[in-house]
Structure 1
Amino acid sequence: MEKLLMGSGSLNNMSNKGYGSLLLSLLLLSVVTEAQALFHKGFSKFQRQKAALSPGGLSSELWFTQKLDHFNGADSRQWKQRYFVNDVFYKPGGPVFLMIGGEGPANPAWMKQGTWLTYAQKLGALCLMLEHRFYGKSHPTLDLSIDNLRYLSSRQALADLAHFRTVIGESRGLSNERWVAFGGSYPGSLAAWFRLKYPHLVSASVATSAPVHGTVNFPEYLEVVWRSLASVNTNCPVLVKKASDTLAERLKDPKTYDNITRDFNLCTKLQIQTEMDSAYFLETLAGNFMDVVQYNEDNRAFEGVVGTNITIGVLCGVMADTSLGDPYSRYGAVARLMMDTLSMKCLNASFSNNARDMTNTSWDGPAAGGGRQWVYQTCSEFGFYQSSDSPNQPFTGFPLHYQVKQCADFYNISAEQVAAAVDETNEYYGGYNIRSSRIVFPNGSIDPWHALGITQDITDQLPAVFIKGTAHCANMYPARGQDLPQLSLARDHIFLLLQQWLKQ
C-alpha cells in the first residue's frame, strides 16, 4: 500500500492528468495585492471568507485566556485567544482533535468540512480549533510594532497550544483522553513540533505539507515549479522562462515602461528606480505560476476561496497559445486572466506601496491580515525565501539578497541575524532529523513545499505519505469524486495510522 501512495518521488515521472478546469484557489492569491503575493510563501489563509456556523454542536467563536510571554514568569500580561468547538461527533471516551491555526484567521469552515471531521465521525472525537496568536482576531498586543512582534514565534504558539490543551482538558474532563494535533503547511509544522516538544500532552499528530526544515534560501521551490509545469507540458516552463527573461530585459529600458504598464494592466505607470522595484514586479508575476502550482486542483472552494478553478493545465494552455503572440505576450495574458478571475481592476506592482503597507503597524493596516506578521516570522525563524537563484527554474530577477533586504527594511533584522535565527530553529526542532513518534507527514509531489518536508519514512513511528500528483494540503480537504485514487488511499492510510496509534 505504501508504494501505491508514494509513487516514485520523482516529479518527472508523474503521469499527465487531464487538467481542464480553470483554477485555483491559488490563482486566487495570485499577484493581485501585496498580501496576496505572499500566498506562495506559505501564507495562504488570511484572505479567506468566513463561513457561518449552524447551531447544534458547532460553537460560535469562543475565547481563551493566554499569557503574553510564556517564558517570562515575571510578565503577567494576558490576552484573549479565539477558538472553536465542534462536538457533533463526540462520544464519551473518544479522542480530542485539535486543529492548529496558522498564518491567517482561523476559518470556521473547517469546523463543518474537511477530512479530519470524517476521521472524527468514525472515532467519536471532539474537535477544537485554536487560532494562532497575532492572526485573525487573536490580538495579544495593541499593535504590530517591532517591539510587540517579538512575542510572535512558533515557540510561543506551541506554548499557547500546551496551555490551551491543559486547561481545556481539565475544565472539560478530557485530561486523560487521547489528543491528536492536525495542521497543514506552517500549522503542519506546529503539529509535528507540538508532539515533539509536548509528548505528554498530545498523543499523535498529522503534519500535512509541513516544512520542518528552515532555510534562508529556498531555490528548490521554483525547481519544483519547473518540474510541475513540465509534468503537464514539457515546453511550458521553457516558454515561461523565455517570457520572464524578455520582461527582465525590457525593464532595463525606460522606453518600454508604457507598454509594460498596458501589457500587465498595472494600476500606475511602471517606475523602476531600484533593483527592489524590478525584483518585486518580476516576483509578483512569477507568483501567478507559483500559487497555481502550489494549490493545483485542490478542493478549497468549501472555504469560500475565490477563483478556485485555475490549474497548471490552464496556465500552460495560455502559454502554449500562439494566437496570443510571443511568450512575453502570453505571460501578460496569464496575468490578465488572474486579475479577471479575481475581479481585480488592475495590478499593483509597486514595491514602495508594498513597503508602505508592510511597515504599517496598525491592526487596521493593509498588511495586518497576516502579511506583516508572517514575513516577520520568516525573518525571525524560518527563512523560506523562494529566490530565483537556481538555473533550474523558469523565472528571472528576484535573488536572495532582494528577499532578505526586506527583513532589514521592515523589521531591522539583518541578513546575518536571519541566518542565525534559521540555524537556531533547526537546532531547536531538528529539521529533517526530527526524532519523535506517532507523527505522520503527508506531502504532495506537485507541492513545492515538499522539498522542506519529510517525504520518506524516518521510522515506522514517523511515516511519510508522499502522494503522487497532488498539491499543497490536498489530503486535508473534503473528498470529491474526481480525487486521484492515490489521494483517497492516502486519506485511508492516515486514518489507519490514527486508529493504531490511539490504541497505543
Structure 2
Amino acid sequence: MKIPLLFLLLVVCLHVDAWKFCHKGRLHGGNLGEPGSRGTLSRSPFVKTLWFKQWLDHFNPRNEETWQQRYFINNEYYQDGGPIFLMIGGEAEASDKWMTQGAWVDYAKKFKALLFQVEHRFYGQSHPTEDISVKNLVYLSSEQALADLATFITKMTDELKLTGKWIAFGGSYPGSLAAWLRMKYPHLIHGAVSSSGPLLAEVDFFDYFRVVDEALESYSEQCLANVKTAHEQVNLLTRHPLGMRKLDESFKLCDPLQTLIKEQKHLSNFWDTLANNFAGVVQYNKDNRIGKTKAGNITIDDLCGIMLNETIGIPVQRLAAINTLLLNATNQTCLDYNYDNMINELRNTSWEGEGARQWTYQTCTEFGFYQTSSYSPHVFGDQFPVDFYIQQCEDIFGSRFNTSFLDRAVDRTNTIYGGLDIDVTNVVFVHGSVDPWHALGITKTKDQGAPAIYIEGTAHCANMYPRDDSDPPQLNQARVEIENHIDSWLRL
C-alpha cells in the first residue's frame, strides 16, 4: 500500500528531533472547587460540623425513612436578628473551607449573617441509602435536594428561633439550585445569588465547545487554528498502524490504539479525552482559587503558549506536549481512554467514589448537559456525538435510560423550572464570559427583579472565590454589585 507523503511527514514529525525537517516541509500551521488558602489556615472555633435528620422521600408521606445529612455552621459574625446565609452543596463533597473563605464570608461580615452550608444528598458523607444502586438513586434528584433545603430551613428557623431573612448562595449546579429554591420556596428564601448556574437542561450541549473555541481564539486566532490542525493530524495518524504506534508513544496511551479503536466507543472516548484537556482548563481559567493544584494552575495562556511554540514541533506534537503537561499535573502515568474501564468504574455501587456515578445519573435522568462534538467547525473533531453519551447512560444504568427516556426527562426538568424563562424575583444571575456554562444561563437582564451580571474575561464561579490583588476590575465590580443586591433584598 502506498503511504501518502503527508502521512509520512506526520510520523516523522512525531519525533521532536526531526522538527527542523518538518518546519521546512509542507506542514504549517481544550465542579465548584475548594476556595483554598494562603499558607496554613487554622480551623475556626466558630465552625461546627453537624448532622440533620432528613426525610428520604419528601414526596411520599407513607415513606417514613430518614437519614443523616451533613451540614456546617459558622456563627462568628452573627448578631441576633441578622440574616441567614445558606450555601448549597452540589455534586461533590462539601468543604468546611467555604465556612471561613470566599466572597459570601465578606458579605456575612458586613451584614452580620449566620452561615450554613448543607451537603447535597448522595454526595460527600451524606448517604441516604446503603449504596448507590439504581434502585436507591431514584431518591437522587434536584427536586429532592430542594425539598431537603426547605426542610432544613424550616427546622433551623424554628429550633434556633431565627428571625432574619434567608439568602441562598450556589455555584455551578448549586447555582441553579439557588435560583430554583427561591422560585419554589419564596416563603422560605428571601433572595439568591446564582453563580454560573445552567438553568436550561439540554441533551446536546454543543455550545459548550463553541465557548471553548471562542476562549482560545480570544487569546490568538492562530492558537485556535493550530488546535484544529493538531486534531486533524491526529485523525490522519489513526488511519495507519505506523501512525497509531507514534500516537501511543507521544500521547502516553495506556492501551495501544490498534487494540481498541476498531470499536467506536473507544475511539470516541479517545477524542473526548483529548478535547477535555482544553475544556477543563478553559472552564476554570484563572478562576481565582488560591493554592490550586498543579492542574488548577494551568491556564489558557499556558495551552496557547504551547500551541504557538514552533520549537516543540508541528501542531500534533504540541498537542502531545499539552497532554503530557496535564498527565503530570494530575499524577497520571498514562492516558486511559478505554471505554470499558470508564464504564466499570461508574458501575460501582459502593460509596467509594467521589460522586461521578451520582452526577452521571443526574445527567441521565434530569439534565443531559452532554458536551458533544456537534459544534461546527469541529475544532476537536466530530467523534463524540450525543449518542456516545446516551450510550453511557444505558451501559451504566440499564437499557431503559435511552434516547426517548432522556428527552422526556430533560423536557420535564425545563417544564418544572422554566429553563431560561424562569419566573422569579430577588435572584442575581452571575456568569463569566470564559465559562462555557454561561451558554445555558441568563446573561442579560430580562427583569430588574432578577438581574444578570456578565463578567468579561472570567471563568466558572470566579466571583465566589476569595478576593485577590490580581483580580480584574470587572470582577471586583461584580462582587460590589452582588453585595448591593443583597443589601436591597434585606431592606425589603
TM-score using structure 1 length = 0.88
Number of residue pairs the alignment of both structures matches: 456
Q: Distance in 2 between matches of 1:48 and 1:147?
A: 36
Q: Distance in 1 between matches of 2:147 and 2:87?
A: 15
Q: Deviations over 1:325-354 (max 9, x none)?
A: 111111000000112222322222211110
Which residue in the other structure is 2:356 paired with? 371
Which residue in the other structure is 1:230 paired with? 217
**Higher RCO, Cα 8 Å, sep 6+:** 1
- Range that drifts further, 438-447 or 354-363: 354-363
Query: Is residue 118 from structure 1 mapped to residue 106 from structure 2 by the alignment?
Result: yes
Q: What amino acid sits opposite 2:271 in the alignment?
A: L
Query: Is residue 275 from structure 1 mapped to residue 264 from structure 2 by the alignment?
Result: yes
Q: 1:75 aligns with which of 63, 83, 86?
A: 63
User: Cα offset for 1:393?
Assistant: 4.7
User: Cα offset for 1:273?
Assistant: 3.1
Which residue in the other structure is 2:419 paired with? 431
Which residue in the other structure is 1:394 paired with? 379
Residue 322 of structure 1: SS of its match in structure 2? coil
Q: Distance in 2 between matches of 1:398 and 1:332?
A: 20
User: Cα offset for 1:409?
Assistant: 1.1
Q: What amino acid sits opposite 2:268 in the alignment?
A: A
Q: Distance in 2 between matches of 1:54 and 1:183?
A: 23
Residue pairs, 1:480-495, within 5 angstroms: 480-495=468-483
Q: Distance in 2 between matches of 1:100 and 1:53?
A: 23
Q: What amino acid sits opposite 2:369 in the alignment?
A: F
Q: Distance in 2 between matches of 1:390 and 1:44?
A: 25
User: Cα offset for 1:407?
Assistant: 1.0
Q: 2:428 aligns with which of 416, 421, 440?
A: 440
Q: Distance in 1 between matches of 2:376 and 2:477?
A: 36
Which residue in the other structure is 1:18 paired with? none
Q: Deviations over 1:381-439 (max 9, x none)?
A: 00111111111452111111111111111112011100110000000000000001000
Query: Is residue 301 from structure 1 mapped to residue 286 from structure 2 by the alignment?
Result: no
Q: What amino acid sits opposite 2:355 in the alignment?
A: G
Q: Distance in 1 between matches of 2:229 and 2:34?
A: 33
Which residue in the other structure is 2:197 paired with? 210
User: Cα offset for 1:252?
Assistant: 3.5
Which residue in the other structure is 2:178 paired with? 191
User: Cα offset for 1:258?
Assistant: 2.3
Residue pairs, 1:21-420, within 5 angstroms: 43=31, 45=33, 54-59=43-48, 61-174=49-162, 176-270=163-257, 271-302=260-291, 305-364=293-352, 368-396=353-381, 397-412=383-398, 413-420=401-408
CA contact (8 A) 1:97 1:181 kept: yes
Q: Distance in 2 between matches of 1:47 and 1:347?
A: 28
CA contact (8 A) 1:226 1:392 kept: no
Q: Distance in 2 between matches of 1:339 and 1:99?
A: 33
Q: Deviations over 1:150-184 (max 9, x none)?
A: 1100000000000011111111111x320000000
User: Cα offset for 1:251?
Assistant: 2.5
CA RMSD of aligned residues (A): 1.8
CA contact (8 A) 2:169 2:193 kept: yes
Q: Distance in 2 between matches of 1:251 and 1:418?
A: 32
Residue 243 of structure 1: SS of its match in structure 2? helix
CA contact (8 A) 2:44 2:100 kept: no
Q: Distance in 2 between matches of 1:369 and 1:253?
A: 38
Q: Distance in 1 between matches of 2:168 and 2:73?
A: 14
CA contact (8 A) 2:55 2:65 kept: yes
User: Cα offset for 1:306?
Assistant: 4.5
Q: What amino acid sits opposite 2:261 in the alignment?
A: I
Residue 296 of structure 1: SS of its match in structure 2? coil
User: Cα offset for 1:53?
Assistant: 6.2
Residue 89 of structure 1: SS of its match in structure 2? coil
CA contact (8 A) 1:208 1:442 kept: yes
Q: Distance in 2 between matches of 1:351 and 1:296?
A: 28
Bigger radius of gyration among the two: 2
Q: What amino acid sits opposite 1:279 in the alignment?
A: S
Q: Distance in 1 between matches of 2:436 and 2:267?
A: 24
Structure 2 unaligned segments of length 5 or more: list them.
1-29
- Amino-acid identity (%): 45
User: Cα offset for 1:478?
Assistant: 0.5
Change over 3 Å in CA distance of 1:329–1:44 after alignment to 2: farther
Q: What amino acid sits opposite 1:446 in the alignment?
A: V
Please identify runs of 4+ aligned residues in structure 1 that moved more than 6 A: 46-49
User: Cα offset for 1:45?
Assistant: 4.5
Change over 3 Å in CA distance of 1:306–1:489 after alignment to 2: same
TM-score using structure 2 length = 0.90
